Amino acid sequence: MITNPLYRKALAAVLLLAALALMTAGSLRSYKVYDADADEFGILTFHRVSDRLIVIDATFRGVLVKGERLYTTDDRSQARGKKACPT
């Protein structure tokens, strides 16, 4: 246990900087999420989705993993509003 207040503040600052660095790295990364029902003529359509939005999609809308691709079960053309959590 760290009892020295100077070490405690230094540790808190390091942890804060590490958390901010991880959040920044996560906001820069994006994924390709394909439409599950738009496989017409062999053409796959996809959307670029950030880390934050992939968590929201996986939690509230549904994301399927087939092979190495992510497929959404939500229609992105509809207006977004608040939805209840399915769990």
Domain range annotation of the chain: 5-72
What confidence tens digit (pLDDT) does each residue in 73-82 have? 766 566 666 6
Q: How far apart are CA 4 and CA 37, in angstroms?
A: 60
Instruction: Output the pTM of the full model.
Output: 0.51
Q: Phi and psi dihedrals of 59, rounded to 5?
A: -85, -45
Give 26-74 pLDDT, tens digit per residue: 778 888 887 776 556 777 777 788 877 777 777 777 777 888 888 777 6
Cα distance between residue 31 and residue 54, in whole Å: 8
Distance in angstroms (rounded) separating the CA atoms of residues 33 and 37: 12
